[in-house]
Amino acid sequence: MLVAFLFRRLGGAAVVFLLVSMLAFLLVWLIPGDAVAVLLDAAASPEETARLRAALGLDRSPLAQMLAWYGGLARGQLGHSLLLNRSVAEALLERLPITLSLTALALAIAVVFGTSAGVGAALAHGGWLDQLLMGVALFGLSVPDFWLGLLFIIVFALGLGWFPTGGFVPISESLAGWARSMTLPGLALGLTQMGFIARMARSSMLDVLGQDFVRTAEAKGLSRSRIILAHALPNAMVPIVTVIGIVTGALLGGSVVIEQVFSIPGVGRLIVGAILARDFPVIQGGLLFLAGVYLLVNLIVDLLYAVIDPRVRLA
Amino acid sequence: MTTGPVLVVDGLTTELRRTTATILEGVTFSIAEGETVAVVGESGSGKSMLALAVMGLLPRAIRRTAGSIVLGGTDLAALSAGEVRARRGRDLAMIFQEPLSALNPVMRVGTQIVEVLTRRRGLPSHAARAEAIRLLGRVGIARPAERFRAFPHELSGGMRQRVMIAAALAAQPRLLIADEPTTALDVTVQAQILDLLRDLKRDIGLALMLITHDLGVVAELADRVVVLYAGRVAEIAPATTLFDSARHPYSRALLASRPRAHGPRSALVPIEGAVPTAGTMPAGCRFRPRCSLATVSCASPPPLHAAGPDHLVACWAVQ
């Protein structure tokens, strides 16, 4: 039953990916004016224009261009960057581990602290701890991540000197260096999403704690910790996991900005650079990459659902 | 009563924390070993509140202000919350009206029984598993080893209530409180669950406190009946006595309001008005505004007094 469920979700994800790839393909036509004219300055000669047009394959019929695009996708090729001397796939893969490790760290911070804070607030419902935690969560939600990033740089990097102001140390080079370079950007990115998860975890937990089966568990004389950990939390996890899927999307988007703030050479910086330089193949590849990661995460979320809640497998 | 009481509730009074309006007032009754006592009354009479008060599971907004709840010689009302928790499930267990919402939807039903066996009775896990399967069989579930792995949504309403009963019996309680155990079930399934409760009562001598508004269920199962009205005991009598010669005007009205399957067809007689809610209780007898026999003496609360052998009534009109 779980396998059938997985295949249904996989089919849905494939359709979305196909739509995104179509959008990426149309990008060249969607920008106002002629893509080639935008790339070159006004003084470019007609020969130069024609050469670039041919190099980009834009002189062919739309159908032929589409076939070439999907043909490349099928072989895992995303074309060549106009500016970087390498293929788009190479450029993306090079930076992939950096962005993924940043996003994963931020997600871990957001999920662990967000869920704990939300559950803690629910258990202390109406008390000072509840108000304190929700105040912090609201602050985290309200503050833009780049501002928090700049604040962290000023206080913890420039002021206290505990962390570098930016840059990236590969984990293969030095684990401690990697951790030091990732702490501030991970926190800046994760804390804003933590508030979101905390609020969801709190309301979900409060809802579950009021349900009949929690009273049944009380009637059985089970310990408070058993009731919370074995009965309430697994039921409260379903909405929290949903939010985790949404949060991952926000983190991927947020990493674009945070990579700029902390000068981290990740996919986000690559895409921003490509947009500024109108490096179309890289923009297209970046779009597909982000959509792919997002779909993958949501597929995992759907699977987690089915693992947590057996009723979902029927739907 | 030949054997000693399992449960003695004396003068139990509860109130809303916020407004200090009383809900239960001076509720007094007892349950003997192996006896089934039904607590009946309309919605809002305080039946479920009484069950939760005995379990020590009153909602936060309500607190007990007076009275004792003596179970097997120990006053639960004098114990700390932790000590009451230690008794719950072991000495007294409870099953609820809605078996679907009362079971954890994401936990296998077997696990929901096993956790009682391992944590409350201290069985090792393999023995607990075998015992849980035995219990599932005992409450009439076919292919119990298979159903052990089912989730609640995979079972029918009747089977879910059987699972609830199995989980409640797992810790071998002295007293089982059943709050409207058949209300949410189909009629044919209701009869099966009542049969099961009757069997269990006979086989293991379980004392049963049965909360219900269904007088048919009372006739099926109860030895004695406590009629509750607006949080006070109106009448306590053996079931047969109550059905033959109820004395309190409210009990009589309650009996007159039920449909009859046998005998001449007659119009149903509703009880005019509604049960007063906490904070709007009339002074004196709480049934006075709806009572056809009310007199000036009803302005003061009537005490519970004997109206026959093992028969108590709280009414000025009954001597």
Give the separation between CA A254 and CA A247, rounded to whole angstroms. 10
pLDDT of B39 higher than 90: yes
Under a CB-based contact definition with an 8 Å cutoff, are residues B299 and B286 in contact? no
A1 touches chain B (CB under 8 A): no
Residue A199 has which token pair?
């609020």
Pick from A183-197, A230-244, A301-315, B230-244: least confident: A301-315
Judge: B93–A235 Cβ closer than 8 Å, yes or no: no
Average pLDDT over residues B157-167: 90
Asked whether the predicted pLDDT for residue B224 surpasses 90, the reply is yes
Fold of B1-91+173-262+269-276: Rossmann fold (3.40.50)
> For the residues of B24-89, what is the DSSP string, one character each?
S-SEEEEEETT-EEEEE--TTSSHHHHHHHHHT---TTEEEEEEEEEETTEEGGGS-HHHHHHHBT
Name every chain A residue with its beta carbon within 8 A of the beta carbon of B88: 218-221
Average pLDDT over residues B262-276: 71
* Domain ranges within chain A, ordered by starting residue: 94-314
Q: B93 contacts in A (CB within 8 Å)?
A: 219-220
Res. B209: pLDDT tops 90: yes
Do the chains contact at B89 and A213, CB–CB below 8 Å? no
Q: What rounded mean pLDDT belongs to chain A?
A: 83
- Which residues on chain A are in Cβ contact (under 8 Å) with B105? 213, 235, 309-311
Least confident span in A114-123, A225-234, A242-251: A242-251
Reported as a pLDDT band with limits 50, 70 and 90, residue B176 is very high
Nearest CA in chain B to A216: B102
B85:A223 CB<8 A = yes
Q: What is the pLDDT of residues B19-35, one digit of tens each?
A: 878 888 888 999 998 89
CB contact, 8 Å: B228 with chain A? no
Query: What is the model's pLDDT at position B279?
Result: 72
Per-residue pLDDT band for B38 (boundaries 50, 70, 90) equals very high
Nearest to A235 among B105, B115, B164 (CB): B105
Give the ranges where A83-174 is alpha helix by DSSP (H).
88-123, 128-142, 145-152
- pLDDT at residue number B2: 47
Is residue A179 a contact partner of residue A108, using CB atoms and an 8 Å limit? Answer: no
The interface predicted TM-score (ipTM) is 0.85
Render pLDDT for A22-53 as a digit per residue (tens, 0 to 9).
Answer: 888 787 777 666 667 766 776 777 777 777 77
Contacts of B101 in chain A (CB under 8 A): 211-213
pLDDT tens digits, residue range A189-220? 888 888 889 999 999 999 999 888 999 998 88
Given a cut of 80, is residue A271 above it in pLDDT? yes
Q: Which of B49, B104, B155 to mutate to test the interface with A (most CBs of A within 10 A)?
A: B104
Residue type, B233: V
Tokens of B48: 């479920």
% residues pLDDT > 90 (chain B): 16
pTM of the model: 0.79
Q: Could you say which of 1.10.3720.10, 3.40.190.10, 2.40.128.30, 3.40.50.720 is the CATH number of the domain covering A94-314?
A: 1.10.3720.10
User: Sorting pLDDT into bands at 50, 70 and 90, what band is B1?
Assistant: very low
Nearest to A220 among B106, B151, B167 (CB): B167
Asked if the Cβ–Cβ distance from B171 to A222 is below 8 Å, we say no
Rounded to the nearest 10°, the torsion over CA A51, A56, A60, A65 is 180
Every domain of chain B and the residues it spans: 1-91+173-262+269-276, 102-172
Choose among A211, A222, A223: nearest Cβ to B101: A211
Please give the pLDDT value at position B185. 82
Per-residue confidence at A291, pLDDT binned at 50, 70, 90?
confident
- pLDDT of residue B265 exceeding 90: no
Between B270 and B193, where is the model more confident?
B193
Structure-block tokens of residue B203: 């086989």
Per-residue pLDDT at B273 exceeds 90: no
CA distance B3 to chain A (A): 27
Strands B62-71 and B74-75: antiparallel
pLDDT per residue over A117-168, tens digit each? 999 998 888 888 888 888 888 888 888 888 888 888 888 877 887 877 777 7
The pLDDT-based confidence of A315 (bands split at 50, 70, 90) is low
